[in-house]
Amino acid sequence: MATEIGRGRFARRAYGLDEVALAPGPLTLDPELVDTSWECAGRRFALPVLAADMDAVVDPSFASAMSKLGALGILNLQGVQTRYERPAEAIEQIVTCSAEKAVPTIQRVYSEPVKDHLILKRIEEMREGAGVVAVSSTPAEAERVAKIIGPGRVDIFVIKATVTTVRHVSNRYQPLSFKSVAAAVGAPIIAGNCVTYEAGLELMQAGVDAVLVGVGPGAQCTSRRVLGIGVPQVTAIADVAAARDEHEEATSKRVPVIADGGMRVGGDISKAIAAGADAVMLGSSLAMAKEAPGRGYQWGMSTGDATLPRGTRIEVGTLGTLREILLGPSSREDGTMNLIGALRLAMACCGAANVREMQKAELVVAPTLLTEGKAHQRQQHVGHGRD
């Protein structure tokens, strides 16, 4: 229901992850009975987690480590990995500069052009790691990059921007054809980002194999402030999930919805899936892994924009190994480690044996969820009181 915000102007109320909670079901399960797997274009993954295509998160070795755990890591083909023969040196400049110089340093580092031979070199390194080879490109470069790669080299191709739509108009270049990209690279296409029912449905109708949902919720992203755009994640996920269900009913093809951004702890992942997501894409949570190339820092890919940076560098610290963050054991009480363990237990409490059943769990509006009865934790900065 829309609320009148001025004469003749109405706005729809939308909800974020901190504003809702899961209601436990009348049936509960042993967490060992829970199946967290999901499927994308005929390929099944044990864990519903994708590592975001950020230079601070994914390099070829990190992508391989994600695959070994049953998850998916995506390498950005417009990042430092394809601009520099020795990308670790570029990352060193970013993580060691002062906070005041972070954005100009990132802009300078990303002013180096992408080199086509490094695209193929990094893909080969990923293939040598014996994992699922998933790479990403901006929409503007997607067709050119797909032709450079050619068929048979990658398993999944991601087309990603702050906002990606089927109906994009430009006088400078031809609109992107998702089918042409898929044919050139010979791999399933994941596309995004979007936050509305209409945009999500049109992407599905255009033939993409999964849709990314989220504009601006990431820890390092400033798009919501700089541009003033975005929809809180719970509403965005639910709206695009409704498009997925309608598309599946009409075509019998299920196009997974991947919640991208805004999830920091296990409870966030549980609520995102209950809102309708089939899987989640994580950035800052995985940047805290010992194996992450950012060494305890994270920055968004739009931070390096030469004219309008929409992100910043943040220090996330290092918590533990990638396995500990995803699968435990956890040494922290704040939900930032053993993310899948938390998801399993939440699904079990809701009586959901798999992801599809978790999407039917009851959600309640609960703005006091994180503060109710937690005065001591907030005062002592533990548990719910951690920043």
The angle subtended at Cα 348 by Cα 242 and Cα 253, nearest 5°, is 30
β-strands 20-23, 362-365 pairing: antiparallel
With b for 16 or more beta-carbon neighbours within 10 A and e for fewer, the 292-330 pattern comes to bbbbbbbbbbbbbbeeebbbbbbebeebbebbbbbbeeb
3-state class (DSSP) for residue 125: helix
- Neighbouring residues of 292: CB distance < 8 A, sequence distance ≥ 6: 56, 57, 62, 286, 318, 322
Element (H, E) at 60: helix 60-68
Q: Measured on CA atoms in the order 315, 320, 325, 331, is the torsion positive or negative?
A: negative
Residue 114 CB coordination number (10 Å): 18
Residue 48 · residue 278 · CB < 8 Å: yes
Instruction: Please give the positions annotated as active site.
Output: 221, 313
d(CA 359, CA 271): 9
Q: Exposure string (b/e) for 122-156, b if CB count within 10 Å is 16 or more?
A: bbebbeebebbbbbbbbbbebbebbebbeeebbbb
User: Cα dist. 208→189, 191, 335 in Å?
Assistant: 5, 7, 33
Question: Which strand (E) or helix (H) includes residue 178?
Answer: helix 178-185
- Joined together, the tokens standing for residue 64 give 């391989």
Query: Dihedrals φ, ψ of 205, to 5°?
Result: -65, -25
Q: Which of 110, 145, 32, 139 is nearest to 299 (CA)?
A: 110
d(CA 169, CA 199): 14
Three-class DSSP category at 213: strand
Work out whether the CA dihedral 121, 61, 285, 109 comes out positive or negative.
negative
